[in-house]
Amino acid sequence: MAIIKVGKEDLKNRDSALNELREYFSGLSASKGREITYSVRTYGCQLNESDSEKLCGMLESMGLTEYEGDKTADVVIFNTCAVRENAEDRLFGNLGIIKSDRKNDKDMIVAVCGCMTMVEKNVDKIRKSFPYVDLVFDPQHIHLFPVYLRDSLRRKKQLVNISADDYIVDDSLVPIARKRKFRALVPIMYGCNNFCTYCIVPYARGRERSREVGEIIEELEILAYQGYKEVMLLGQNVNSYKSSEGDRFPALLKAASAIKGFSRIRFMSSHPKDISDEIIEIMASSSNIETHLHLPLQSGSDRILKLMNRPYDITDYLKTVHYFRKMVPDGSLSTDIIVGFPGETEDDFKRTLDVVSECAFDSAFTFQYSPRPGTKAALMEDQIPHDVVTERFGRLLDLQNNLAYKSNLAKVGKTEEILIEGMSSTAPDILTGRTMSNHLINFTIPDSLKIEGKSADDYEGMLCDVKFTSARPYSVDGEMVKLK
Residues making contact with ligand SF4 (CB under 6 A): 192, 194-196, 199, 201-202, 236-237, 271
CB of 237 to ligand SF4, least distance (A): 5
CB of 127 to ligand SF4, least distance (A): 27
Compute the distance between CA of residue 201 and CA of residue 232 in angstroms, rounded to an integer.
20
Nearest residue to 189 via CA among 142, 252, 143, 265: 252
Phi-psi region of 420 (alpha: psi -120 to 50; beta: other; left: phi over 0): beta
194 CB neighbour count, 10 Å cutoff: 18
Count the residues in the chain.
484
Q: Please, which residue, 59 or 115, has the CB nearer to ligand SF4? A: 115
Compute the distance between CA of residue 439 and CA of residue 81 in angstroms, rounded to an integer.
26
Compute the distance between CA of residue 107 and CA of residue 359 in angstroms, rounded to an integer.
54
CB of 208 to ligand SF4, least distance (A): 9
Compute the distance between CA of residue 225 and CA of residue 260 in angstroms, rounded to an integer.
9
CB of 372 to ligand SF4, least distance (A): 10
429 CB neighbour count, 10 Å cutoff: 11
Q: Please, which residue, 196 or 384, has the CB nearer to ligand SF4? A: 196
For residue 266, report the phi and psi dihedrals to the nearest 5 degrees.
Answer: -115, 160
Q: Please, which residue, 77 or 196, has the CB nearer to ligand SF4? A: 196
CB of 284 to ligand SF4, least distance (A): 25
Q: Please, which residue, 273 or 350, has the CB nearer to ligand SF4? A: 273
Compute the distance between CA of residue 175 and CA of residue 146 in angstroms, rounded to an integer.
12
- The 3-class secondary structure across 201-214, one letter per residue, is HHHHHCCCEECCHH
Yes or no: say if 140 and 169 are a contact pair by the CB < 8 Å rule: yes
Q: Please, which residue, 236 or 320, has the CB nearer to ligand SF4? A: 236
Q: Please, which residue, 194 or 407, has the CB nearer to ligand SF4? A: 194
CB of 176 to ligand SF4, least distance (A): 23
Q: Please, which residue, 195 or 474, has the CB nearer to ligand SF4? A: 195
403 CB neighbour count, 10 Å cutoff: 17
CB of 311 to ligand SF4, least distance (A): 10
Residue 263 DSSP SS3: coil
CB of 368 to ligand SF4, least distance (A): 16
CB of 312 to ligand SF4, least distance (A): 11
Q: Please, which residue, 73 or 308, has the CB nearer to ligand SF4? A: 308
Give the amino acid at 231: V
Which contacts of 23-28 are long-range, i.e. CB under 8 A and separated by 24 or more positions? 24/153, 25/62, 25/63, 25/64, 26/63, 28/74, 28/107
Q: Please, which residue, 259 or 378, has the CB nearer to ligand SF4? A: 378
Residue 91 DSSP SS3: helix
